Amino acid sequence: LEKKLAKQRAARMAAIEQSAKNDEDLKSSAMADTQLSGMNQQVSKVFATYEGDQFSTGGIYLDGMIYLSRMADSSIKTKKLKTALSDAEIKKQKEAEIIEAEQKKKTENAEKDANSKLANRDIIKNSAEEDMNAKLTCVISLCNWSRNPANASRLATEGTVRAIMQLSLEPSDKIHFYCVAAFRYMSEQPELAISMIDEGAIATISELCSSKTDEFTVTNLAIALVNLTRINGKEGQVVGEAAIVLALMNLIMIRVELGVICVRGLYNLTCVDISYQFIERVIRALVSLSMSGAANVKHLCAAALCNLSDLKSVRPRMVEEGAITVLTTLSRGAETRTRRVCAVILQNLSAAKSVRVEMASRSSVTAAYGLSSDQDPIILRCIGLTLSRLAMEPSNVQRIIFESGISALCNIAVKYPTIPGISQPVASAFQLLSSHQPYRVSIAAEGSVTAIASLLLSSADMFTLQHSLLALCNLLCEPENHLPIIQQGLIITLISMCGGSGSTSHGNGVEVVQENDLIKDFCSLAFLNLSCSPDSRKHIVNAGAISAIISVAKHSSEVTKRRCAATLCNISYFSAGMGRMVSDGIIPSIVSLVLAKDMDTVHYSCAALCHLCCTVENAKLILESGAVKNLVHGALEGDNVTKQYCGAVLSSLSFYEAARVTLCELGAIAALKGLAELNDDVTKQRCLVAFANLSDEDSIQKKMVDEGVVSIIAELANSNQEINYICCAKAICNLAYCQSTKLSVATEGGVHALLMISMVKSVDRVTKLLCVMGLNNLLDTTTIKFMLNEGLIGSIANLSKLSDSHISNLSAGIFNQLSRYSEARVKMTERAAALSALLKLADSHENETQIVAVRTCCNLVLDNNIRGAAIKAGVYASLEKGLLLQDKDTVRQCLASIFSVCTEDLFMEQMAKSTRIPVTLIKYISNSDHSNVTLTPEEYSLGARTLCMLSWCTRSRLFLQTKEVFLLLIALVDMGTKQQTQNQWTATNIVTTKESFSEGSESANSSGALLTSSAEWIAASIRYLLLG
């Protein structure tokens, strides 16, 4: 509806205007004369009415020429001009009068009206030309006045800028010419320039630039705009409200050759101390212009961006707008000064922590790498700082490594390692990058080792050396990096940096006179990390680094001492270099470190001593160095961990016979006793090992027992580890060897421990063997009763069943010793298992075991109190085997045992009935000439008398009346006759008493016949067998 009403209103207005125009044509002739006369009068009064001060001395200037050139006047001239220009208001005021006059003269003065029109037009034209000339004169005057700096203040206060802006709208090239010149001159004066900015002249200049493209206009307007950018504090206004950036960009598009001038204006806008609104427009313009243009333009763009990079608040926006990407373009193939500015920009931007991650993501590392190939030290310093700052962000590390950031740092480090301003940021960057464990191998692979070596060899700056050493230490944490580091000769470098109190010399001859404690500390850390790899230890030793480490270990810093102790501990594992280490003095150094206040240092030192005391010579050196006192003190007074380490060294030293007495004299036994009470299985085990080793020394066995070691060993046996059992068994076995302390060893838990280990805990045969040996050593007159009460017989019976010849032999020996004591013999016969085990031992394939077991059986048979139980258990078989052994003592004892059985008919009956002892006896006597065994008269007599007694006994005679026996006896008689003839045997040693016969032999005694010859005994045997 509003649109429809608007159309109707426009149609009505058009009709009214058309009617007014028609009426005007009719009235024009009547008005021409009156208007012409009035106009001429007004023209003549234009200059006459001026009342201003022509010489600028002050006054009222509102009616002056300058202002009249741009301000409307109430004169007739102005009204005429406005009428010629179709002023609707004036026409309406005169409409009524003109219509009436024209109607009267319409028909009469038609020709006169036409002439009047032509005359009016000429007058208007002439008047307009005169007005334009006046304006031209004004603009020329203003242009000339603006050239003099003295007029600037007055021109600024009197509105000159507004006048020029008004005049620039006139359709006159000449006026435009002087307006352009005036703009330029005014822009050179700060006061007028400020007025131009405040009055909005920049928009007017922009319009002129768009309408006029001639060289003079465009160039001067460009200069004017650049001059306006020089005004401090107005940057935000000219960029935001006046849009000067757009105007400068348009000028560049109009004339490319104005690029340097326009970019200078943009540069001026960046020369600020604080940011301003719409500054991002400047950044975008600079980024856009940096992509193309001449070298001068690029340099100015770089310089402008450098200025902006100094503003902390602008840095994030610069990165967002792509300033980093532009730097790569600007620096590529540019002059040194431009590349330097680009490097400074990177440095400034990287100072803002908030933009570092985004910088790395926008290829700042690539830009830095491109600039690192330069030889300019300023550029290299800036790049070093940039990369070191970017490396502070963990998320940037991967990009720095894989976008050639390491190569850039290497380039810088190799070129200027002696300049602290360059070497410091590079060393810091290496240190920061190498602190990230996943990338250390990649960092070393990129060539950083060479750069670090260059810094360490050439730099004299402490900051550089410290951070380079830290970077090296970080890289050494990875064993894969050790070989390239060693190949670069950095071990020798570290050795030189660990030098004495004199000076530290570097590859370029620079000497650092004053030592730096931190340097030595870092060197110790580097050696520590290097020593962690087994393959690197030989290089450390072969390079002679032990002396350097020992030198550093004398440092007062506890941290340094700890690292040196740990390094020496690691290196001590390299057994092939033990000789070189010892010759370099490693043992005295480690011994001195045992006294350190830091417990970790003591622990590492003890561990190193454990490794080093692998030879007798080294053990002696450790003893001579006074380590034992320190170790004993640590084991007694230190914390639990320290006690464990000190105990380990004492245990290791106890392995060597030459050290045992010294250890005991210096209090090692007391220390080990205290360590045994710790709640640590490994420490207890080491104590047992030490006790076992020390107990092997005869001179200190009694001392150990007197100090109560046995009970401690017995208590330590309550574990679940086989090695503890074997050590316990060894210790007790050795201590049991001392004659004066056997009872103490037995009663203080030695017997119980050995029995428990052998019977219950241990499954190892060696351990069981040691237990049996210990029991064997303990058994004597003083301990027999206690050991019997502890169940020795049953335990030995069980142990003897093991299929081990050594255990069987020892078991047989223990049985044999027990058979010496009547109480023991009784207990043996009371336990069927013991007799069974003994008889089984008598059947052993081992000759020595068999001999001992048979003799034990003989001891049992010879005891009248237990003879029956022994015979009942089957001891005859063992006696029979004993007759066949090659041991004369055993055979003689068997003969005596068999003869002792002949006191009872039952025993003789059992012998004749169930064994072949009679036959064996006959064969033994009869084969004496045909074997290596030579019978003594006593043996022969015992055998003959035994046969006689068996033949005399009615109950046993029956089983001897066999063909085999008779034939053997006849042969024996023949052999005995020959021996009697040859040797003149006598029977003086063979005496038959009443006690020799049993109670049932009264008839023989009553006969009163005393046999005085062995042959007679044989003859008597034959007689008894034949005649009864």
**Helix 657-665 with 616-624: angle, nearest 10 deg:** 20
Rounded to 5°, the CA angle 990-991-993 comes to 150
Nearest alpha carbon to residue 317 among 305, 327, 328: 305
Phi, psi of 504 (to 5 degrees): -105, 115
233 contacts: CB under 8 Å, gap ≥ 6: none
pLDDT given at position 107:
57
The residues with which 505 forms a beta bridge, in sequence order, are 511
Query: Measured between alpha carbons, how far is 45 from 67 in angstroms, rounded to an integer?
Result: 16
Q: pLDDT tens for residues 98-149?
A: 666 666 666 555 555 555 554 455 554 556 677 788 888 888 998 899 888 8
Banded model confidence at residue 53, pLDDT cuts 50, 70, 90 = very low
- Give the residue-averaged pLDDT of 150-159: 88
CA 106 to chain centroid: 115
Q: Are 730 and 770 in contact (CB under 8 A)?
A: yes
Q: Are 346 and 306 in contact (CB under 8 A)?
A: no
Which range among 234-238, 258-262, 407-411, 803-807 has the greatest average pLDDT?
Answer: 407-411
Banded model confidence at residue 95, pLDDT cuts 50, 70, 90 = low
pLDDT given at position 985:
36
What mean pLDDT value characterizes the chain? Answer: 81
Backbone φ/ψ region at 334: left (φ over 0), alpha (ψ -120 to 50), beta? beta
pLDDT given at position 882:
85
Lowest mean pLDDT across 355-369, 652-666, 779-793, 1014-1028: 1014-1028
Q: Are 524 and 494 in contact (CB under 8 A)?
A: no
Backbone φ/ψ region at 667: left (φ over 0), alpha (ψ -120 to 50), beta? left
Q: Are 334 and 298 in contact (CB under 8 A)?
A: yes
pLDDT given at position 629:
87
pLDDT given at position 723:
87
Banded model confidence at residue 921, pLDDT cuts 50, 70, 90 = confident
Identify residue 132 by its one-letter amino acid code: M
Lowest mean pLDDT across 430-434, 653-657, 906-910: 906-910
Q: Are 465 and 424 in contact (CB under 8 A)?
A: no
Q: Does the pLDDT of residue 502 top 50, yes or no?
A: no
Q: pLDDT tens for residues 629-638?
A: 888 888 888 8
Query: Measured between alpha carbons, how far is 811 from 859 in angstroms, rounded to an integer?
Result: 16
Structure tokens belonging to residue 199: 């009055």
pLDDT given at position 941:
81
Banded model confidence at residue 540, pLDDT cuts 50, 70, 90 = very high
Structure tokens belonging to residue 30: 């009547």
Structure tokens belonging to residue 449: 């080792």
Banded model confidence at residue 92, pLDDT cuts 50, 70, 90 = low
**Three-state DSSP state, 511:** strand
Identify residue 792 by its one-letter amino acid code: L
Q: Are 224 and 187 in contact (CB under 8 A)?
A: yes
pLDDT given at position 507:
44
Nearest alpha carbon to residue 136 among 96, 180, 100, 167: 167
Q: Are 598 and 565 in contact (CB under 8 A)?
A: no
Q: Are 291 and 263 in contact (CB under 8 A)?
A: no
Banded model confidence at residue 594, pLDDT cuts 50, 70, 90 = confident
Q: Are 263 and 303 in contact (CB under 8 A)?
A: no
The residue behind tokens 């070129």 is: 415
pLDDT given at position 478:
92
635 contacts: CB under 8 Å, gap ≥ 6: 642, 643, 646, 647, 650, 671, 672, 674, 675
Query: Measured between alpha carbons, how far is 778 from 737 in angstroms, rounded to an integer?
Result: 7
pLDDT given at position 513:
32
Lowest mean pLDDT across 70-84, 249-263, 535-549, 704-718: 70-84
Q: Which H or E run includes 505?
A: strand 504-505
The alpha carbon dihedral of 544, 546, 552, 554 has a sign of negative
Lowest mean pLDDT across 30-44, 68-82, 711-725, 995-1009: 995-1009
Q: Does the pLDDT of residue 31 top 80, yes or no?
A: no
pLDDT given at position 465:
92
Q: Are 238 and 228 in contact (CB under 8 A)?
A: yes
Rounded to 5°, the CA angle 914-916-920 comes to 160
pLDDT given at position 37:
46
The residues with which 512 forms a beta bridge, in sequence order, are 504
Banded model confidence at residue 51, pLDDT cuts 50, 70, 90 = very low
Q: Does the pLDDT of residue 470 top 70, yes or no?
A: yes
pLDDT given at position 333:
82
Q: pLDDT tens for residues 230-275?
A: 988 888 888 887 688 888 888 888 888 888 889 999 999 999 999 8
Q: Does the pLDDT of residue 930 top 50, yes or no?
A: no
pLDDT given at position 530:
93
For every residue of 563-612, which 3-state class applies, written as one string? HHHHHHHHHCCCHHHHHHHHHCCHHHHHHHHCCCCCHHHHHHHHHHHHHH
Count of beta carbons in the 10 Å neighbourhood of residue 354: 10
pLDDT given at position 992:
34
pLDDT given at position 382:
94
Lowest mean pLDDT across 549-553, 587-591, 1000-1004: 1000-1004
pTM, two decimals, is 0.68
- Give the residue-averaged pLDDT of 452-473: 92
